[in-house]
């Protein structure tokens, strides 16, 4: 039971927060007025990325939206996003988020300032040392794809829910990166891991609501979540703890196998120099979990859209098939360098990542000093949301953005891919996605390997409506039940 004092403190904290927000709003760009406490959130429908984009018709490129109790400055077109995300003042994350309410130590994805900079630099260095962006990474992904195609072959052309096998397959690529090994699809630990991550993600799907609430509410939510919540999270946490502990026992700093080894080696060096370093086991644990959270679902969602759109537009599927046949052939696995000779396939992938932007509204940022965007003053410690969906549908950049048209990424003779600066699925500037290289390689290899082997069609028409479900990422609303027929 909560004491009267406890309730009083929470009510007081909330009231002060709301009062602070009203005063803060006076210094921020104009925007629609919401209701007390819930703000504008109640007026956003099932597709907030689209609703927020439409607000730009009235309020322009930069406006303030009260989401729950928080004032958030929205960057709602390419000009605003480019101007802001090029500035160091926009590199912070909010002090609190629902993620930080449940984690003891912030991961590199939640940190700000020098700690973030240092953790990020080190993560990128470790990935480089491990050969990410090079052939060894591709070999592991290609190997993982062979387990996937084995499962698909077992369906003998019967409809299958590809989502169910893509989940462990994608998560295995992060397992390789972080733990140094894969887990078989049928391994009980693997199944437990997927189930629990899935449960954790579905718990976290309320995160949108929590992000709009004061931090005390997030903490209370997880506290009241009771034993089930704790059981889910603790089970996931124990997998990471046991991996870190076994890595510590077998660490050879001259032969680093994965991210955990790379981090432990760096931690040893840092701790020798400074016992108060922010390179700690708890930070390693948070970073490792952030890689799974950020690097698994994003690639899977993108791959699901690629498959669905190649089914919906079968003429494009045929064109990708013919490019694969002439560049890769049938006797070897595709490699990432093949993309250089496959302009249409690249353009198709780009257009899918624009049309169904995986992360439609970016992870929240915070200004670390007084600054401005397109002439609007933005004070220090303001929360800022870059609407990537709006950038990808900005009519000042894209001709008929509502149309699905891979040719927009090709020169008129169809031979070259055009680089368009406003194409930013991995975000933009110094705090863009850490896993961009890995993400791009995975997406290309999965899509091309599957189309090399199969002609893909849909088991029903429902999923071809291409309806969306807004969440941490923009998921297909209907499960992708697909039919894979061997091409040879
Ligand atoms: C198609 C795949 C992916 C997409 C579309 C994607 C997109 C994004 C976006 C939009 C952000 C937010 C950046 C910002 O605040 O401006 C981000 C951050 C991040 N991503 Fe990815 N991502 C993908 C794959 C991956 C992979 C494979 C990994 C892991 C290796 C990863 C790890 C991260 C991390 C750790 C961050 C936080 C970076 C920071 O705060 O400094 N992502 N990603």
CATH code of the domain containing 140: 1.10.630.10
* CA angle 260–261–263, rounded 5-degree value: 65
**Structural domain span for residue 26:** 4-90
Could you identify the atom of ligand 1 that is nearest to the CA of residue 173?
27
In sequence order, what are the residues at sequence separation of 6 or more whose Cβ sits closer than 8 angstroms to the Cβ of residue 201? 297, 472
pLDDT < 70: residue spans in the chain:
1-3, 5-7, 9-11, 13-18, 98-102, 133, 196-233
In a domain, 386, yes or no: no
Q: Do 430 and 340 reside in the same domain of the chain?
A: yes
Output the pLDDT for position 205: 47
Residue 192, strand partner residues = none
The size of the chain, in residues, is 488
In a domain, 376, yes or no: no
| Ligand 1 centroid – CA 403 distance (Å) | 26
Could you identify the atom of ligand 1 that is nearest to the CA of residue 287?
35
Q: Do 117 and 77 reside in the same domain of the chain?
A: no
Residue of 456, 466, 478 lying closest to 152 (CA atoms): 456
Q: Report yes or no: 438 and 173 within 8 Å, Cβ to Cβ.
A: yes
Residues with Cβ within 6 A of ligand 1?
108-109, 120, 290-291, 294-295, 298-299, 302, 358-359, 362-363, 425-427, 431-435, 438-439, 443
Query: Domain ends where: 59, 90, 121?
Result: 90
Counting the structural domains of the chain, the total is 2
Q: Report yes or no: 295 and 174 within 8 Å, Cβ to Cβ.
A: yes
Output the pLDDT for position 17: 66
Give nearest CA residue, ligand 1 atom 34.
434
Residue 309 DSSP symbol: H
- Distance from C-alpha of 375 to C-alpha of 87, rounded to nearest angstrom: 13
Per-residue pLDDT of 311-336, as tens digits, reads 999 999 999 999 999 999 999 999 99
Q: Do 86 and 200 reside in the same domain of the chain?
A: no
Q: Do 83 and 117 reside in the same domain of the chain?
A: no
Per-residue pLDDT of 221-258, as tens digits, reads 666 654 445 666 677 778 899 999 999 999 999 999 99
Q: Do 73 and 121 reside in the same domain of the chain?
A: no
| Ligand 1 centroid – CA 296 distance (Å) | 10
Q: Report yes or no: 190 and 184 within 8 Å, Cβ to Cβ.
A: yes
Residue for token pair 């004061």: 214
Output the pLDDT for position 190: 80
- What residue numbers does the annotated binding site for heme cover? 433
Q: Do 60 and 188 reside in the same domain of the chain?
A: no
| Ligand 1 centroid – CA 363 distance (Å) | 9
In a domain, 383, yes or no: no
Output the pLDDT for position 1: 47
In a domain, 271, yes or no: yes
- Distance from C-alpha of 75 to C-alpha of 94, rounded to nearest angstrom: 16
Q: From 140, 357, 433, give the residue whose CB has the most ligand 1 atoms within 8 Å, as the site to mutate.
A: 433
Q: Do 284 and 143 reside in the same domain of the chain?
A: yes
Q: Do 304 and 439 reside in the same domain of the chain?
A: yes
Distance of CA 468 to the CA centre of its chain: 16
CB-CB neighbours of 467 under 10 Å? 13
Q: Report yes or no: 85 and 428 within 8 Å, Cβ to Cβ.
A: yes
In a domain, 419, yes or no: yes
CB-CB neighbours of 311 under 10 Å? 20
| Ligand 1 centroid – CA 462 distance (Å) | 30
- Distance from C-alpha of 233 to C-alpha of 323, rounded to nearest angstrom: 45
- Distance from C-alpha of 395 to C-alpha of 326, rounded to nearest angstrom: 36
Output the pLDDT for position 411: 98
Output the pLDDT for position 224: 62
Q: Do 27 and 139 reside in the same domain of the chain?
A: no
Q: Do 287 and 424 reside in the same domain of the chain?
A: yes
Give nearest CA residue, ligand 1 atom 27.
295
| Ligand 1 centroid – CA 34 distance (Å) | 31
Q: Are strands 62-67 and 468-470 parallel, antiparallel or unpaired?
A: unpaired
Mapping DSSP to helix (H, G, I), strand (E, B) and coil, where does residue 243 land?
A: helix
Burial string for 353-373 (b: 16+ CB within 10 Å, else e) reads bbbbbbbbbbbbbbbbeebeb
Give nearest CA residue, ligand 1 atom 7.
426
Give helix then strand counts, H and E, for the chain. 18, 11
């Amino acid at each position: 039971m909560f004491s009267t004092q406890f309730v009083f403190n929470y009510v007081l904290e909330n009231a002060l927060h709301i009062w602070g927000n009203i005063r803060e709003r006076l210094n921020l760009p104009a925007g629609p007025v919401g209701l007390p406490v819930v703000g504008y959130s109640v007026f956003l429908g099932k597709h907030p990325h689209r609703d927020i984009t439409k607000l730009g018709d009235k309020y322009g490129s930069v406006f303030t939206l009260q989401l729950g109790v928080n004032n958030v400055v929205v960057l709602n077109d390419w000009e605003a996003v480019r101007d802001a995300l090029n500035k160091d003042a926009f590199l912070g994350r909010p002090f609190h988020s629902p993620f930080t309410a449940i984690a003891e130590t912030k991961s590199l994805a939640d940190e700000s300032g020098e700690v973030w900079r240092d953790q990020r630099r080190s993560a990128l260095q470790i990935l480089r040392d491990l050969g990410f962006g090079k052939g060894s990474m591709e070999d592991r992904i290609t190997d993982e794809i062979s387990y996937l195609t084995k499962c698909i072959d077992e369906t003998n052309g019967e409809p299958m829910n590809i989502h169910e096998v893509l989940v462990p397959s994608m998560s295995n690529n992060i397992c390789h990166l972080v733990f140094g090994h894969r887990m078989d699809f049928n391994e009980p630990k693997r199944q437990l891991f997927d189930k629990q991550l899935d449960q954790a993600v579905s718990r976290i799907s309320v995160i949108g609501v929590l992000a709009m609430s004061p931090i005390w509410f997030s903490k209370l939510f997880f506290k009241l979540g009771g034993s089930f919540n704790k059981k889910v999270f603790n089970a996931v946490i124990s997998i990471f703890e046991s991996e870190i502990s076994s890595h510590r026992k077998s660490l050879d700093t001259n032969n680093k196998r994965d991210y955990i080894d790379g981090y432990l080696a760096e931690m040893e060096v840092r701790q020798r120099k400074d016992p108060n370093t922010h390179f700690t086991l708890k930070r390693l644990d948070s970073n490792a979990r952030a890689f799974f959270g950020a690097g698994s679902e994003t690639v899977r969602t993108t791959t699901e859209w690629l498959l669905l759109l190649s089914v919906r537009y079968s003429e494009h599927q045929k064109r990708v098939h013919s490019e694969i046949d002439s560049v890769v052939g049938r006797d070897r696995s595709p490699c990432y360098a093949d993309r250089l000779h496959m302009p249409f396939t690249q353009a198709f992938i780009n257009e899918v990542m624009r049309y169904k932007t995986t992360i439609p509204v970016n992870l929240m940022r915070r200004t670390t000093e007084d600054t401005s965007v397109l002439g609007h003053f933005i004070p220090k410690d303001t929360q800022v949301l870059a609407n990537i969906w709006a950038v990808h549908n900005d009519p000042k950049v894209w001709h008929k953005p509502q149309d699905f048209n891979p040719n927009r990424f090709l020169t008129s003779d169809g031979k070259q891919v055009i680089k368009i600066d406003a194409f930013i699925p991995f975000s933009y500037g110094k705090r863009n996605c850490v896993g961009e290289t890995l993400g791009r390689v995975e997406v290309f290899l999965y899509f091309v390997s599957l189309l090399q082997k199969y002609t893909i069609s849909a088991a029903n028409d429902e999923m071809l409506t291409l309806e969306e479900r807004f969440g941490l990422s923009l998921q297909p609303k209907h499960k992708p039940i697909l039919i894979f027929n061997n091409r040879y």
